[in-house]
Structure 1
Amino acid sequence: MFAKKHIFVIMEEDYIKLIFGLKLKQIRTDRNLSLFGLSKLSGLSKSYLNEIEKGKKYPKPDKISILSEKLDIPYDDMVSLKLDKNLAPIGEILQSKILKEIPLELFGIKESNLIDIIANAPAKVNAFISTVIEIAEHYSFSKESFYLASVRTFQQANNNYFENLEQEVVIFAKAYQIDLTKPIQSNELEEILVEEFGYTINNKDLEKHKELDALRSIFISKSKTLLLANHIDEAQRTFIYAKELAYNHLKFKERLYTFSWIKFENFDQVLNNFFASYFAGALIIPKTTLTEQLTNLFNKNRFDESLFVKMIKSFNASPESFYQRLTNILPKEFNIQNLFFLRFTHRSGSERFYLNKELHLSHQHSPHANETNEHYCRRWVSLKVLNEISKTKKDHVVDIQISHYPNDDMQYLVLSSATKDPFKESHYRSISVGLLINKQLKNKLSFLEDKKIVAQKVGVTCERCTISDCEVRQVPPTILDRSRKNKKIENVVNELMQKFS
């Protein structure tokens, strides 16, 4: 506890040094003084002044008095932590909790390095921060959104694979004699929660409150009571139990208490929620078993849809959990690192499709979230399976497609599943994983040459699509047309500039 407090004090001192240095540098540059000039004016060495401006040293009171007198700035203004409007955003972020809440070390960033960057280029950093704040306000970018985006970046930076969590699953399974070669049932995990961790499982009280019909569970830490919605299926119950076991086994104190989440108090809760979900997925869908099944599927010369569906059903997990687990295993075990994950939702009878979850490994792939008023390409297999299931009484629709994006000249093999939304009447969701087709993928997937797999030219949204003969286009390519028009205007202006130069 003492060590943490000591580190916190040091961090606060660093911020004070940096703010003083930023103010001194701004005052100096406003006076059109070089470091050499300020050194001659004040009698303080150039190297000493440079250290102050970089936030590495804080001058003693007598030195501050000299600077105050020579620069004609009141002493109190010099030592005040208040910054003028040009540097105010930097002061806000330095004095806020944001740098303390986010574990920068996860991204390989040292706080001292971040401070150096701010000190060396305050104007640029200030402009960047101001821009981020403006974007956040314009698009209602909440603290929760920022945290979630940070976790997503963390996943992408690690190819969404965490060996330490995989090992913890093995350790947990051995400690509680769980056979990872067989499907795990909820009663097996419930027994561990009750007997080992003193949980009370309540399947009744959550249903008494209609306001909570979107929640699957609430955990009351004081009494270790887990309230569960009684309409959840076996796979959902198993996943919830597995997450609770993860919180306990990994000894996470900061955690979320509802599923799905309502709000986040700090970044650790978001990160631990991700780790617990990863642990749960790895426990229910073990790496070794899934790797063996995928190897069998990939070695076939034709895509075996029935085998793929059998794979999904062989685990006590939802299709979404299965597809999520693919994003862990494919990069690690098969070196398929260029992939994306998408989750769409759709209401039967409507013409709108909502992309509310996505992950991109290696780089930002073509299918990604856009402005909410744009129309996603109806040629995507993700939308096709949603259309099909909403018009039939099927429980699960699976399809595969080779999607070719002419604008990027890239092709993806996309696997997609659609199921009913268990919590919303007449609502459906599709889960998709897209694999970039390159030489490496062709070497790993024997069925990639299967002629029965439909190949389709696709766009991102109708508003930006170059496909002229699209039979399912929802609206004209307005954004694309505007861009083309602006390009023509630019070309004519250039011609006139050359003609009359």
Structure 2
Amino acid sequence: MCGDTEMTDHDGSYILSVISLARNLKRRRKEKAFTRYDISDRAGISPSFYSELETGRKSASGETLRRVTKALDMSMDELQSDRYDAALEALLDFQDPDIAIKEGIELLDKAPHLAKAIPRLLANVARVYDRGSKKEVIYPILLREFQKENWNHFPDIEDEVKHFLDEHPPRGTSPDAHDLQGILRYVYKYTIKTQHDFNESRYQHLPIIRSMWFRKGQHNYLLLNQHLLKSQKAFELAKEIAYNLPFLRTKETLAHRVPTSPRVGVRSYTQLLNEFKASYFAGALLMPKDALEADIATFFAQKTFQPERLWAILDTYNVTPEMLLHRLTEILPGKRFGIKKLHFLRFRYDRYMQREPREWQVFNLTKLLDLDSLRFPYVESSGEKYCRRYSSLQVLRDMANALENGSIRGEDLYRRPLVRMQRSRFANEAYRDNTYLCLTMAQPLTLQPDILVSVTIGFVIDEHFKRTVQFWDDTANIEPHGPHGPNAIELGHTCQRCPLSHDQCADRAAEAVIFREEERNKEMAQLMSATERELLG
């Protein structure tokens, strides 16, 4: 270590040495009953710098370490000894230096056995989920927990957007692709190619790239797919602007930057977190909080559900259905609406699969945000079938049929996506007390028109929601329709877990094998309990 520096990317052995050094500093200080202020004073360094040494956030020069070891009355060999090989290596096996260093030290202090076991457990969870590597499963889980902890509402990023709009006032309600492109070119000196050909026809087996960023020296380049809608180009440009603002433009961020959209080659949780912050900023920039809240308040004040008002909002901000509904998950938990019990789902469906029998059709859940403890599972790849009664899935099948028989054209769906509103209730006991109002919008993918996508935002219908959303009990425009009040459709999470019989559900795509096994286990537990009571009198 040639100087006192902040931590950046390093190989595994270096990370292990940093964690071990930090642990040994803290252990020795406690043995000597010194405070951090005592050591920093004796070593001639600041208390904050010593604190960052103990937490592994900074490394130090050899001279600084010699002063610290002298203050602690320990040798350099003692400082660099490693007593926690197995646990440290297990943490590093998680393959995210940020988590391994910042969280690992505290975990090792409190429970070394857990520090060894948890990463192995997470790796096994990834395999059970059958969704690829740990990075593809565990990092998104950590991100969703971060969103849930903050109710997916981040005032600091909202403030960044307000400050940016004050410095760069838009011509309309919000900046468009032309405005953002000009800012990147003339303020941040980017070279931008907005009509790039990524050779999709040649590389059909690869994910279709929406945008790509790279850096040569001090100059930034951004390539945008030529087939993107204007709204999608605006979103990619807004994300790129976020990476040039103080809250994201750091040396650490440049080292933890995902160069493509969609994300390819995610190496750490920090990368995923930075992408989330940049995407949050982009959505907030295209749909400024105050203006959108006013439009949504007007929408919620209607006594009947009116899809055309949603289309008007899409036109006002020139955004896609996914951008709009995801933005609602960010503003609705805030002070103005206070709607925190919500979830967001995105499903994909290959329209040509609709020719297959129901039991062979596959609906892939590709995005999930759960703020209402719904615990929606990622299961389709494991053989379980999502409930075909979800509005999310029904609208995809209906769209596939309409495209097949020619009653609707794909290009029309980009202007006016299909819209459904459904009241539903889960048939399993844990969720029977909750009735949900689910808004779904659907259209084909721009870059892959044969792939149909639905996005859904669902709300728990409680008393606060009823006071806020006036059309919650509309029976004419919200499914199920009927004259006898606001009923709800009975759902299951998956067919295999659903208690509804074949007579109760004609849409079943698989037998309820998991539900039956759980019921047998309950009956066995009851039998054992009754036998014990009988024997004990």
Q: TM-score range by the shorter chain?
A: 0.7 to 0.9
- 1:246 to 1:80, Cα distance in 2 relative to 1, 3 A: closer
Residue correspondence of structure 1 range 222-371 to structure 2 within 5 A: 222=216, 223-250=219-246, 251=249, 252-253=253-254, 254-332=256-334, 333-350=336-353, 351-361=361-371, 363-365=372-374, 367-370=376-379
Instruction: Please state whether the residue corresponding to 1:220 is helix, strand or coil.
Output: strand
Instruction: Supply the distance in 2 between the matched residues of 1:132 and 1:413 (Cα, whole angstroms).
Output: 33
Q: What's the CA shift for 1:208?
A: 4.0
Output the amino acid matched with 1:235.
S
Structure 1 pair 475–59 and aligned structure 2 pair: CA distance change class (3 A): farther
Deviation by residue 1:380-423 (Cα, 9 ceiling, x = unmatched): 11111111111122511100011111321111110000110122
* Alignment partners' CA distance in 2, 1:119 and 1:297: 52
Indicate conservation of the 8 Å contact 2:91/2:115, yes or no.
no
The structural deviation recorded for 1:441 is 0.6
1:448 aligned partner: 472
Which residue number corresponds to residue 134 of structure 1? 124
Offset of residue 479 of structure 1 = 0.8
Cα pair 2:499 2:512 within 8 Å, conserved: yes
Is the 2:380–2:386 contact (alpha carbons within 8 Å) kept by the matching residues of 1? no
Conserved? CA contact 2:347–2:365, under 8 Å: yes
Residue 312 to residue 348, structure 1, CA distance change in 2 (3 Å) = same
Contact 1:183-1:316 at 8 Å conserved across structures: no
Q: CA deviation at 1:60?
A: 5.8
Structure 1 residues 466, 220: CA separation in 2 closer, same or farther (over 3 Å shift)? Answer: same
Question: Aligned AA for 2:88?
Answer: G
Instruction: Name the CA distance, whole Å, in 2 between partners of 1:324 and 1:434.
Output: 11
Q: CA deviation at 1:464?
A: 0.7
- Identify the residue that residue 422 of structure 2 maps to in structure 1: 401
Matching residue's letter, 2:505: C
What is the Cα deviation at residue 481 of structure 1? Answer: 1.3
* Structure 1 portions without partners, runs of 5+: 22-56, 65-78, 105-109
Q: What pairs up with 1:169-180 in 2 under 5 angstroms?
A: 169-179=161-171
Could you give the per-residue CA deviations for residues 451-481 of structure 1, whole angstroms, max 9, x where no partner exists? 2222311111011111221021111211111
Deviation of the 1:119 alpha carbon: 3.7
CA displacement, residues 138-190 of structure 1 (integer Å, 9 cap, x when unaligned): 544423433332222211111111111111112112212324x5253211211
Match 2:145 to one of 153, 163, 188: 153
Q: Which residue of the other structure, out of 201, 209, 212, is the alignment partner of 1:218?
A: 212
CA 1:360–1:234 in 2, change beyond 3 Å: closer, same or farther? same
Verify: 1:380 aligned to 2:390, yes or no: yes
Q: Distance in 1 between matches of 2:107 and 2:190?
A: 48
Whether the aligned pair in 1 keeps the contact of 2:390 and 2:491 (CA below 8 Å) is yes
TM-score by length of structure 1 reads: 0.79
Which of 429, 432, 449 is matched with 2:456 structurally?
432
Contact 2:346 2:368 in 1 (8 A): yes
What is the total number of aligned residue pairs between the two structures?
A: 437
Corresponding residue of 1:165: 157
SS at match of 1:446: coil
Task: Give the stretch that moved more between structures: 122-131 or 157-166.
Answer: 122-131
Q: Secondary structure in 2 aligned to 1:391? A: helix
Following superposition, the deviation at residue 260 of structure 1 comes to 1.0
Q: Percent identity?
A: 28
The CA distance in 2 between the partners of 1:18 and 1:130, in whole Å, is 26
User: Which residue of structure 2 aligns with residue 13 of structure 1?
Assistant: 21
- Say which SS state the counterpart of residue 272 (structure 1) adopts: helix
Alpha-carbon distance change, 93 to 295 in structure 1, aligned in 2, over 3 angstroms: same
For residues 208 and 141 of structure 1, the distance between their equivalents in structure 2, rounded to whole angstroms, comes to 27
- Is the 8 Å Cα contact of residues 101 and 266 (structure 1) preserved in structure 2? yes
Partner of 1:201, secondary structure, is: strand
Q: Distance in 2 between matches of 1:311 and 1:230?
A: 25
Deviation at 1:4, TM superposition (A): 2.8
Q: CA deviation at 1:126?
A: 4.0
2:396–2:452 contact (8 Å) kept in structure 1: yes
Greater displacement, 214-223 / 121-130: 121-130
Tell me: CA distance 1:492–1:414, structure 2 relative to 1, closer, same or farther (3 Å): same
Q: Distance in 2 between matches of 1:460 and 1:226?
A: 41
1:272/1:80 CA distance change after superposition, 3 Å: closer
Residue 173 of structure 2 is aligned with which of 159, 163, 182? Answer: 182
Q: Secondary structure at the match of 2:291?
A: helix
Q: 2-side partners of 1:364 and 1:380: how far apart?
A: 18
Tell me, in whole angstroms, the C-alpha distance in 1 between the residues paired with 2:267 and 2:491.
41
What amino acid is the match of 1:474?
A
Q: Does the 8 Å contact 2:20/2:82 carry over to 1? A: no
Mean Cα displacement is larger for which, 272-281 or 94-103?
A: 94-103
Deviation at 1:447, TM superposition (A): 1.1
Partner residue of 1:32?
none
* Alignment-derived partner of residue 102 in structure 1: 99
Task: Quickly say closer, same or farther: Cα 1:103–1:279, change in 2 above 3 A.
Answer: farther
Check conservation: 1:15, 1:94, Cα contact below 8 A.
no
Give the Cα–Cα distance (whole angstroms) in 1 for the partners of residues 507 and 93 of structure 2: 49
Give yes or no for contact 1:380–1:458 (8 Å, CA) kept in 2: yes
After superposition, where does 1:183-202 map in structure 2 within 5 Å? 183-202=174-193
- Give the TM-score normalised by structure 2: 0.74
